[in-house]
Chains A and B, each alone.
Chain A
Amino acid sequence: MTQTTLSTPKKIAPVALDWKKWLGVIPFFLFAVLFLILPSLRLFIGSFTDNAGRFTVGNILELFEQKSILDAYWLSIRISAVTAIGGGIFGFLLAYAVTIGGLPSPLRSMLITFSGVASNFAGVPLAFAFVATLGRTGIITAILKNVFHINIYQAGFSLYSFVGLSLTYMYFQFPLMVLIMAPALDGLKREWREAAENLGATTFQYWSQVAMPILLPSILGAMILLFGNAFGAYATAYALTGGSLPIVTIQIGAQIRGDVLHNPGLGYAMAMGMVFIMAISLAGYSWLQRISERWLR
């Protein structure tokens, strides 16, 4: 952001030289156009095109009419929201425990490293790890059955369901929260707490009236980020459920493999709906991030 002040002298420089400076970034922009902008644009245009190649808004309208599509979005949104809120709260408590919670500091670097690993440990290996843990013959399943005489699969639990997928997603969700919240909690100045205590505030008052209002934008922002993280996930869900749990990404995957919706335009519209939701959540994240930077930097 300090760079913006540097851009002022450019007006003094001769105009003829100005455009040559842009030659240096052409490879990068060409790359972005070819492999990011153009593919996205293709889907965007496709979502407004009917089978005969004419302009239509019918595909977008149909998104809201087909029950299977609405269900897919709703399922994805629910899983993303549950893991974002659950992972967000758990991750926050963990980050609190190692920053200002009074745990010995070696535990902090342990947790941060582990979080870095876990938030990257996703896809097929993660799915397999959870099958070995909570699958029908998984270790926790076996321990619960043999030691505690609780058969979770008879009780209605399944790893290949909403709850199972959410538990699996949590494995990369709450570490991400830890990674975002630890620096934010560090940003709480000790002077604020001392000032509050000098004015006679209780711990509860300090948290509810000083710390929380400062932290809330970054907590919410991080949760939105977690939401997007789960919403765009494909590989973990596919490896775990083999496509039997129809979340949006799985449905889009099926549409790419073979036109299961029997309408290519509708497939593009479905993809664009995802991009739309991702864009909204990321815009919300960066807005909240800017608010939280007022106090925490």
Chain B
Amino acid sequence: MNLAKVQTLTKASKPKPQNQRIPVWSWFWFILGALYFILPLLATLEFSLQMKRDQISLLAYQKAFEDPQFIKTFTYSNVLALATIIAGIVLFVPTAYWIRLRLPEARRLTEFITFLPFVVPAIILVFGLIRIYSTPVKIPFTDIELFQPLTTTHFGTNVLIVAGYMVLAMPYMYRSVDIGMRTVDVRTLTEAAQSLGANWFTIITRVILPNIRASLLSGALLTFAIVVGEVTLASFLGVNAFGPYLFLLGQHLAYQPAALSFVTFLLTWMAMGLIQLFTGGQGQAAGAH
């Protein structure tokens, strides 16, 4: 949804001159905002520390981390995130590069496609994916089967969910790659590399990728933030990921879910902090709301 932030990625922040008077209203709104931010986190933290009666302890965290299901689902979600990021880079970088360099006429169409996931929310996407890939996939208008339904095999489901995550992450990833290529002069770099005898693979891996690493990294971290806690796709496709695990945990237990929620918050914070560090500009946001 948060297209605007992708567009403002490149705009640097400008310091503003300060007024002489104490800006009472500004402070008022700021403090109110700060309270809204902090109170739920404080409440979660405080609650998570109360597992032992009348005593502050990290028992909830210890219990949560010890659960083999936690380790399994959390690892699995991280692997999914990594797979999404790698597949995304492999698909989006050459495409954005080729369109910048050779195919500017495909630009508008690609922009439109990368915009589409904002119009199709996760719940609708997974609805469509299930309806298409839970039956054998046929060549249109014939009865020739291309392959078995993806949702019936373990591997097929993994393919489907990574593809779904790539779609969810596409607006952020594709655009941050594209913006990265705008700031470095791809054309000149390519010509220089070509005149030194580099082939296409070398150009992309050794010249283009290192030059857009900052935007690549921020796209990757954002994807990580989207995928690791994602619930909608994961629960409807029936995979054993961290998001559905946390949801189920919340149905039975009280303290461990609070502890893991706080940990998730810290992870999100880390990802955003790193993005801030790498881009030095506006924060970004996405959302598995």
Q: Mark A218-255, 1 if CB is under 8 A from B, else 0.
A: 00011001001111111110110000000001001101
Q: Mark A121-165, 1 if CB is under 8 A from B, else 0.
A: 111111111101100001110000000000000000000000000
| Contacts A/B (CB < 8 Å), 16 sampled | A24-B95, A25-B99, A25-B103, A101-B25, A107-B30, A114-B37, A116-B284, A120-B272, A120-B286, A123-B288, A124-B246, A129-B44, A186-B13, A225-B4, A232-B124, A236-B289
Tell me if A256 and B167 are in contact (CB < 8 A): no
Most chain B beta-carbon neighbours within 10 Å: one of A22, A119, A169: A119
Judged by a CB distance under 8 angstroms, whether B264 is at the interface is yes
* CA A138 to CA B117, docked complex, whole Å: 36
Judged by a CB distance under 8 angstroms, whether A73 is at the interface is no
Interface residues of B in 35-89 (CB under 8 A from A): 36-37, 39-44, 46-47
Judged by a CB distance under 8 angstroms, whether A32 is at the interface is yes
* CA A7 to CA B108, docked complex, whole Å: 12
Tell me if A253 and B123 are in contact (CB < 8 A): yes
Give min CB distance, B61 to chain A, whole Å: 14
* CA A102 to CA B24, docked complex, whole Å: 9
Residues of B within 8 A of A212 (CB): none
Tell me if B243 and A103 are in contact (CB < 8 A): no
Tell me if A24 and B94 are in contact (CB < 8 A): yes
* CA A195 to CA B276, docked complex, whole Å: 36
Tell me if B91 and A28 are in contact (CB < 8 A): yes
Give min CB distance, A238 to chain B, whole Å: 7
Binding site for B on A (CB under 8 A): 3-4, 6-7, 10, 21-22, 24-25, 27-29, 31-32, 34-36, 38-40, 42-43, 46, 90, 93-94, 96-105, 107-109, 111-130, 132-133, 138-140, 169-172, 174-176, 178-180, 182-183, 186, 190, 221-222, 225, 228-236, 238-239, 249, 252-253, 255-257, 267, 271, 274-275, 278-279, 282, 285, 289
* CA A182 to CA B268, docked complex, whole Å: 21
Tell me if B40 and A132 are in contact (CB < 8 A): yes
Interface residues of B in 1-33 (CB under 8 A from A): 1-5, 7-8, 11, 13-19, 21, 23, 25-27, 29-30, 32-33
Judged by a CB distance under 8 angstroms, whether B283 is at the interface is yes
Residues of B within 8 A of A3 (CB): 100, 104, 107
Tell me if B23 and A170 are in contact (CB < 8 A): no
Tell me if A113 and B229 are in contact (CB < 8 A): no
Beta-carbon nearest neighbor of B243 in chain A: A124
Give min CB distance, A25 to chain B, whole Å: 6
Contact A113/B25 with A186-B13, A278-B119 known, Cβ cut-off 8 Å: no
* CA A133 to CA B35, docked complex, whole Å: 12
* CA A27 to CA B89, docked complex, whole Å: 13
Interface residues of B in 236-250 (CB under 8 A from A): 236, 243, 246-247, 250
Contact A172/B289 with A39-B132, A108-B13, A225-B1 known, Cβ cut-off 8 Å: yes
* CA A139 to CA B273, docked complex, whole Å: 28
Tell me if B119 and A275 are in contact (CB < 8 A): yes
Tell me if A235 and B286 are in contact (CB < 8 A): no
Query: Could you count the A-B residue pairs with CB atoms below 8 Å apart for me: how many are there?
Result: 324
* CA A65 to CA B36, docked complex, whole Å: 40
Give min CB distance, A36 to chain B, whole Å: 5
Judged by a CB distance under 8 angstroms, whether B208 is at the interface is no
Tell me if A39 and B131 are in contact (CB < 8 A): yes
Choose among B2, B15, B122 the residue that contacts A176 (Cβ–Cβ < 8 A). B2
Tell me if A133 and B39 are in contact (CB < 8 A): yes
Give min CB distance, A242 to chain B, whole Å: 8
Contact A256/B166 with A116-B284, A119-B2 known, Cβ cut-off 8 Å: no
Choose among A31, A94, A230 the residue that contacts B163 (Cβ–Cβ < 8 A). A31
Choose among A10, A132, A229, A233 the residue that contacts B2 (Cβ–Cβ < 8 A). A229
* CA A167 to CA B49, docked complex, whole Å: 25
* CA A150 to CA B8, docked complex, whole Å: 44
Contact A140/B285 with A24-B102, A36-B120, A117-B272 known, Cβ cut-off 8 Å: no
* CA A221 to CA B3, docked complex, whole Å: 11
Choose among A109, A111, A129 the residue that contacts B41 (Cβ–Cβ < 8 A). A129
Contact A228/B95 with A31-B163, A140-B43, A235-B231 known, Cβ cut-off 8 Å: no
Tell me if A125 and B99 are in contact (CB < 8 A): no
Q: Which 5 residue pairs are nearest across A and B when measured between Cβ atoms?
A: A116-B283, A39-B128, A232-B121, A101-B26, A119-B285
